[in-house]
Amino acid sequence: MSFTPEELREATTQLADTVARFARSEIAPHATEWDQAGEFPRQLYRRAADLGLLGLGYPEALGGTPAPYALRMPAWRALCRHGASGGVQASLFSHNIALPLVVALGAPEVQREVVPPVLAGEKIAALGITEPGGGSDVAQLKTTARRDGGDYVIDGEKIFITSGMRADWFTLAVRTDAASKGAGGISLIVVPGDTPGLSRTRLDKMGWLSSDTAHLRFDGVRVPARYLLGAEGAGFKGIMGNFNGERLGLAAGAVGFAEACLDEALSWARQRSTFGQPLVAHQVIRHKLVDMRQRICATAAWLDAVAARADAGDTSPDWVAEVCTLKNQATQTMQFCADAGVQILGGMGYMRGTVCERIYREVKVITIGGGTEEIMKELAARQWGF
Ligand SMILES: Cc1cc2nc3c(=O)[nH]c(=O)nc-3n(C[C@H](O)[C@H](O)[C@H](O)COP(=O)(O)OP(=O)(O)OC[C@H]3O[C@@H](n4cnc5c(N)ncnc54)[C@H](O)[C@@H]3O)c2cc1C
C-alpha cells in the first residue's frame, strides 16, 4: 500500500484516534482489575480484531491490512499511551512476534491455517525462543526437533513465553541438526497448542501482571513436517530479522508509556497544591515535566526516522544498529518518565492503581525482553564495526 505524504498524515491521525478511543474506553479503565486477576478477557482479542488492530501490517489475503511502519508505530504508541497497560499490550499483540515468521517463511497452506484465525481474534499466537539455559545466546538453544517419517518430534523447554498459557499456536525455535552446536542447526516450526506432550506452567512476575507468561515443556511433541517454516537450518537468520520488527514495536510502545506517565504527572501537578500553589507552579516540578517531554520528543523523532527507513526497505547494518540503540533510547526515556512521574505523584505514585506505579514496575522488562540492553549495544557495535 502506498500513500502520498498527505494521505499518510491523514491515515495516521485517523488510526491513532481510533486506537486511542479503544484504549481509553476498553483497556485503561480495567487495567488495574486485570492486573489483579492476572489476565484480561479473551473477548478483547475479538474487539481488537474487529477494529482491524490485530491485522495491521499483514497481507489482505490472510485477513490483514497492509500498513507501513510509519502508520503502525503511531498506532502502537497511542495504544500504549492511552491503554497504559504493558500486560495487555504484551499478550494482546503477542502474535506480532510469532506470525511475521509464519508469513515470511511458512508454506501457503500453513499460512492459511494459522494466520487468519489469529488476526480474527479467535486464536492466540506466541513465540518460543528463550530457554532455561539462556536467551541472549540464541545460537546455543537446545530444544530439538527430530525428523521421524512425515513428522518432527520435539523435546525440550522454553521459558518466559508471553501468552504461553493461552496460546493456540507457537512459533518455536528448535535445533533440527542435533550434531550442530551453533546457529547453523536452528530451524523454526509451528506447534499447535493442544498437541499431546506439551505442558505449560504459569510464571509469576514483577510487572505485565495481566499478561500470561509460561514455562513450556515439550516431551515427544509430534507435529507434521509441513509445519516447518522455511528450510531446515535456516531459522537463525529468520529469528534475527524478526527481532528488528519486535524492537521497533517495543521502542514505539516505550514512547507511548513514557507519554502516559507525563499525562498523569501533568494532570496531578495541575490539581495538587502544596505551599499555597499548584505543584506545576513550582519550578522544580515544571522542569521535571519539561525534562520528560524533551526526552519523549527526541525519542519519538528518532523512532519516526528509523520507521521511515524500514518503509524504504533499508535493512543495512547501520539501520539494524539504529534499531538496537533506539530500543535502548526509548527504554531509557520510559524509565526516566516513570521515575519522574512517580516522584511528582509523591506517595500516590507508589500506590497500586496509578499509571506511573504500573509503568515504573513494567519498564524493567523492556530492558530485557526482545534482547537485553547489553546485547543491543553488542549488536550495534558489531553492525557499526566498532
Ligand atoms: C516478561 C517476559 C516476557 C518474555 N517473553 C518472551 C517471549 O514471548 N518469547 C521468548 O522467546 N522470550 C521471551 N522473553 C525472554 C527474553 O527475551 C529473555 O529474558 C532475554 O532475551 C534475556 O535472556 P535471559 O533471560 O536468558 O538472560 P541471559 O541471556 O542469561 O543474560 C543474563 C544477563 O547477562 C547479560 N549478558 C548476556 N550475555 C552477555 C554478553 N555477551 N555481554 C554482556 N552482557 C551479557 C544480559 O544482558 C543479561 O543482563 C521474555 C522475558 C520476560 C521477562
Name the nearest CA neighbour of 171 among 116, 105, 219, 117.
Answer: 105
% of the chain with per-residue pLDDT over 70: 100
Distance between CA atoms of residues 274 and 56, nearest Å: 46
- Rounded to an integer, the average pLDDT of 231-247 is 93
Q: Is the pLDDT of residue 236 over 70?
A: yes
Atom of ligand 1 nearest to the CA of 211: 1
Per-residue pLDDT at 1:
62
187-223 residue pLDDT tens: 999 999 999 999 999 999 999 999 999 999 999 999 9
CB 224 within 8 A of CB 87: no
CB 109 within 8 A of CB 226: yes
Top mutation candidate among 136, 239, 361 for ligand 1, by most atoms within 8 Å of CB: 136
Instruction: Evaluate whether the domain defined by 236-383 bears CATH number 1.10.520.10.
Output: no
108-159 residue pLDDT tens: 999 999 999 999 999 999 999 999 998 999 999 999 999 999 999 999 999 9
Q: Structural domain boundaries of the chain?
A: 5-119, 125-233, 236-383
- Secondary structure (3-state) at 54: coil
Distance between CA atoms of residues 294 and 292, nearest Å: 5
Q: What is the largest distance, in Å, between two alpha-carbon atoms of the chain?
A: 79
Name the grid cell of 151: 513428522
**pTM value surpassing 0.75:** yes
CATH superfamily of 125-233: Butyryl-CoA Dehydrogenase, subunit A, domain 2 (2.40.110.10)
- Using the mean position of ligand 1's atoms as its centre, give its distance from the Cα of residue 246 in Å: 14
- Using the mean position of ligand 1's atoms as its centre, give its distance from the Cα of residue 58 in Å: 28
Give, using CA atoms, the residue closest to atom 32 of ligand 1.
136
- Using the mean position of ligand 1's atoms as its centre, give its distance from the Cα of residue 165 in Å: 19
- Rounded to an integer, the average pLDDT of 343-355 is 98
Give, using CA atoms, the residue closest to atom 12 of ligand 1.
130
Helix axes 283-311, 317-345, angle to 10 degrees: 160
29-79 residue pLDDT tens: 999 999 999 999 999 999 999 999 999 999 999 999 999 999 999 999 999
Residue 290, CA distances (Å) to 262, 276, 293, 339 in order: 9, 22, 5, 14
- The answer to whether residue 7 is catalytic is no
CB 9 within 8 A of CB 43: no
88-111 residue pLDDT tens: 999 999 999 999 999 999 999 999
% of the chain with per-residue pLDDT over 90: 96
Helix axes 317-345, 235-271, angle to 10 degrees: 30
- Using the mean position of ligand 1's atoms as its centre, give its distance from the Cα of residue 364 in Å: 12
Atom of ligand 1 nearest to the CA of 94: 8
Top mutation candidate among 130, 205, 246 for ligand 1, by most atoms within 8 Å of CB: 130
Distance between CA atoms of residues 261 and 381, nearest Å: 31
Binding-site residues, ligand 1, Cβ < 6 A: 126-130, 134-136, 160-162, 205, 208, 213, 365, 368-369, 371-372, 374-375, 378
293-329 residue pLDDT tens: 999 999 999 999 999 999 999 999 999 999 999 999 9
CATH superfamily of 5-119: Acyl-CoA dehydrogenase/oxidase, N-terminal domain (1.10.540.10)
Q: Of 246, 259, 322, 362, which residue is the catalytic one?
A: 246
Distance between CA atoms of residues 313 and 305, nearest Å: 13
Task: Give the burial class of 149: count Cβ atoms within 10 A of its Cβ; 0-12 exposed, 13-18 middle, 19 or more buried.
Answer: exposed
Residue 65 is classified by DSSP as B
